[in-house]
Amino acid sequence: MPQSPNIGASELNSPPEDALLTTLRAAVGLLELPATDRLGQDFRTIASQSGQANFRIVVFAPFNYGKSTLLNALLGERALPIDLIPTTGAAIVVKYGEALASRIDLANGNSIDEAGTEILKQFAILDGDRRMREDVTGVEVFCPHPFLQTGVELVDLPGTDDQEAQDALVKQQLLTADLVIQVLDGRKLMTLGEREQLRDWLQDRGIETVVFVVNFLNLLEPEEQKQVYNRLRFVAESFRSKLPAGVSNLYRVDALPALRARLKGDMAAAQAAGLPILESALQTIVQGQQTQVESRRSRLQAIGQQVAQALQGKVEQLAAELQQTAGKEQQKAAIQQQAATLIRKGFTQATNDFADWLSLTHLLVTYQEEAAQALQQGQFRSWASGAFKQTAIDHQQAIAKWVHQACDFFEQERPHQLLVNFPPDPAIVPPPPPPPPNAPQKSSDLPTEALAGGALGWMLGGPVGAVIAGGASYLLNKTLNPNPAAEPTPVADPTPAVPAYACLEAAREYLIHFSHLNLASLQKYVTVGDRLIQAPATPAHRTTAAKQYQLQLLRSTLEQLQCELSSPNITES
């Protein structure tokens, strides 16, 4: 290949990261694509190449179409392995180097550097099952050719139409190309379906700088060569490649004769094989730096359209989810509100019933007399732990039932149980024994009825003392002398009895204490219950807020991306 003008790699100015690429990075991130998603992989491939200054020429074709032979002819030496059987099992990137050398990058992070290219036969070929080696992540060849010194990279790809993994690698590498060379076999013309499929795949990805090189025409008869070439010209024209003015997108190169001529230094034979015309076209394309800018712009725009479509789809999906979620949340909120109303009604009724039962008036009317009798009979503990206690516990459980329903329904932690407090058993102090019958009375001595009434009045105090004293006096006489008409029966060595009034007062004090303790406890528990029995802000509300923010971000990014895609100059930052 003739030496091209002195254009260094640094002079092949690739555009800086422009506004479109920046927006695309944000958009792809919002799509949250899995690592295996093809759109994400394509974007990452294009983005990684956008900042590279080198001009990348990628050569692809099915196996045995002569790709490696064509590249060797362009390089003027057997740099790449060629054989009668398919061999290329990796993307081999040929770069400039002062001497022919190879570098193999392995999956374990190690690299192998070796002079020459013999090592390619070990690491850059297919295995026995015609599969690419999984332990190889990169293959580079360094060659001292002047054309490469201008910043050009040549990429030899595995053959297509053989293995799915190889086709995927080929498509990925094509996205990095500033120029694609599609090698055709003059003996196997593409069908209409094949060329439409190739054209659509390339154009959908913004790959428009395509050059076709037909091989093996030398194996046909002269008249047949003309017919085939004319048909191939129609194929090439249907691609409408974006190339510099005066540069065709179809060339005839007989790869093997061209390589032999170049190795022998036979310029005439190389000219007859069509090699110099292709070399000149490649140099013209490389020197037209705008072609590189436009090709990368086309790929960015093409991938941008796909990303925009994916964003639009996600916006619509998320909007539908939010609408559906909003309906469900409204329904759930209505149900929760109804439940809260019913639970609160039951809770209020249960707490009011307990408060009424705990009221001092109710306790005195209902329990004072029987508690006093139990005291007088020495059975107070049995009385307090019987029906009285059970009734209190029944009220407690009735209240707890509503609180537990609220906690279970609204998914909240249950509070501590409402405690029913029982004061210590009352202590009765018996009165002093009566004086002997013949003992002289003191001026302060009073009849039994007066003593009973006066003692109770002193203990109770206040305006109700006299009224209760009369009642206590009556109860005392009724208890100690059930038959008032009969004379008292003399008792030898009598044991002092506990007066009824003292038992009544002790029972009253106990019930007062019981009422105060449990009304205070109930009041605190009502406060806790009121806080629990309400429709809370559920996690679904927070999830909805997060999704609404995500939707807003998606829409603003989509709007920005569409604006960048419609801009006539995407390279302006």
**Mean pLDDT across 537-553:** 76
**Mean pLDDT across 515-520:** 94
- Domains of the chain with bracketed CATH: 54-287 (3.40.50.300), 327-428+447-482+496-539 (no CATH)
User: Minimum mean pLDDT among 172-186, 459-473, 548-562: which range?
Assistant: 459-473
Q: Does residue 474 surpass a pLDDT of 70?
A: no
Task: Give the pLDDT confidence of 448-466 residue by residue, as tens digits.
Answer: 333 333 333 333 333 333 3
3-state secondary structure of 103: strand
Between 561 and 429, whose confidence is greater?
Answer: 561
3-state secondary structure of 322: helix
Q: What per-residue confidence (pLDDT) applies to 161? A: 58
Between 429 and 528, whose confidence is greater?
Answer: 528
Beta bridge partners of 259: none
Nearest-CA neighbor of 500 among 459, 440, 540, 445? 459
Q: What is the CA radius of gyration of the chain?
A: 51
Structure tokens that stand for 479 in this block = 């208890």
Task: Give the pLDDT confidence of 276-306 residue by residue, as tens digits.
Answer: 999 999 999 888 765 566 677 777 888 889 8
Q: Does residue 503 surpass a pLDDT of 80?
A: yes
Q: How confident is the model at residue 265 (pLDDT cuts 50, 70, 90)?
A: very high
**Mean pLDDT across 98-122:** 91
Q: How confident is the model at residue 491 (pLDDT cuts 50, 70, 90)?
A: very low
Q: Does residue 475 surpass a pLDDT of 50?
A: no
**Mean pLDDT across 76-85:** 76
Q: What per-residue confidence (pLDDT) applies to 492? A: 40
Contact 146, 4 (CB under 8 A): yes
Task: Give the pLDDT confidence of 317-363 residue by residue, as tens digits.
Answer: 999 988 887 777 778 778 888 888 899 999 999 999 999 999 999 99
Structure tokens that stand for 398 in this block = 């009735």
Q: How confident is the model at residue 537 (pLDDT cuts 50, 70, 90)?
A: low
Q: What per-residue confidence (pLDDT) applies to 98? A: 93
Nearest-CA neighbor of 242 among 196, 288, 291? 291
Phi, psi torsion values for 493, nearest 5 degrees: 50, 60
CA separation (Å) from 395 to 8, 342, 362, 402, 406?
A: 94, 18, 15, 12, 18
The pTM assigned to this predicted structure is: 0.57
Contact 93, 140 (CB under 8 A): yes
3-state secondary structure of 107: coil
Q: Does residue 308 surpass a pLDDT of 90?
A: yes
| The residue to which tokens 């570098």 are assigned | 103
Task: Give the pLDDT confidence of 361-397 residue by residue, as tens digits.
Answer: 999 999 999 999 999 998 999 999 999 999 999 999 9
Question: Mean pLDDT score of the chain, rounded to an integer?
Answer: 80
Q: What per-residue confidence (pLDDT) applies to 300? A: 82
Q: How confident is the model at residue 129 (pLDDT cuts 50, 70, 90)?
A: low
Beta bridge partners of 105: 111, 138
Q: How confident is the model at residue 70 (pLDDT cuts 50, 70, 90)?
A: very high
Q: What per-residue confidence (pLDDT) applies to 398? A: 94
Q: What per-residue confidence (pLDDT) applies to 434? A: 64
Q: What per-residue confidence (pLDDT) applies to 192? A: 77
| Angstrom distance (rounded) from CA 92 to CA 104 | 10
Contact 456, 505 (CB under 8 A): yes
Q: What per-residue confidence (pLDDT) applies to 356? A: 96
